[in-house]
Amino acid sequence: MDRLKGKRALITGGTSGIGLETARQFIQEGARVAVTGTNPETLAAARKALGEGALVIKADASDVAGQKEVAEAVRQAFGGLDILFVNAGIALLKPIEAWTEADYDRVFAINVKGPYFLIQALMPLLANPASIVLNTSVNAHIGMPNSSVYAASKAALQSLIRTLSGELIGRGIRLNAVSPGPISTPLYSKLGFSETELKGVAESIKGLVPAGRFGEPSEIAKAVVFLASDEAAYTVGSEIMIDGGMGTL
């Protein structure tokens, strides 16, 4: 239980779902952990769940200027950084005719632009070696209706794991990605559906998964621990699909 002993980690969107579970596993593996989030209730819950040793930062993943503030908070607390898990994201599912420019910009700001400039802001802090893991999605690989903008934003992250891997490996910084399928997290409850509609959407999505179920946050977190650890020192620019076989259809 010490695969991350002595390492300093930042997890964006780390106050619920996959991010919070990954923070728990990082701490169990010996890491010092900082998490970001925006919701006051989940920020407070994360402080309680992760203990006094964790750094909990209120930060908007879409705010480019705010990424420098996150980097400064990490610098003051940890002095440097060994692991970054870019997990914060938003999923909006709409048919093409329902999209507005504002919604399009919001998805890309949270899922792509903010994370890109967070990596930039953290560059002076990243150790050699260091590991960056991006949370992408199976949706970038499949043609699921109503997911066009969300899927495009996740495909952009998948491109970054290759381009930035080539750019940063000389500095000892590895980039990899996990690509989850449907996971039992609060993400789906944020889509704006009623409870009845949400159950219908969930059943419809589950029907697309050969494994016949939603995944659990712990199943994603275990893969992130591996990619963050020295066990993955030769894993560069790779993507681990954790989707119950959804991407094979």
| Catalytic (active-site) positions | 150
Strand-pairing partners, residue 37, are 58
Place of tokens 């802090």: 125
**Can you tell me the distance from the alpha carbon of 23 to that of 45, in angstroms, rounded to the nearest whole number?**
13
DSSP 39-76: -HHHHHHHHHHH-TTSEEEE--TT-HHHHHHHHHHHHH
- Residues 165 and 174 sit within 8 Å (Cβ to Cβ): yes
**Can you tell me the distance from the alpha carbon of 167 to that of 173, in angstroms, rounded to the nearest whole number?**
9
| Nearest one of 176, 160, 64, 62 to 121, comparing CA atoms | 64
SS3 128: strand
**Can you tell me the distance from the alpha carbon of 175 to that of 9, in angstroms, rounded to the nearest whole number?**
14
CA 217 to the chain's CA centroid: 11
First and final C-alpha spacing in the chain = 36
At 144, phi and psi to the nearest 5?
Answer: -75, 125
Task: Residue count of the chain, please give it.
Answer: 249
**Can you tell me the distance from the alpha carbon of 12 to that of 85, in angstroms, rounded to the nearest whole number?**
6
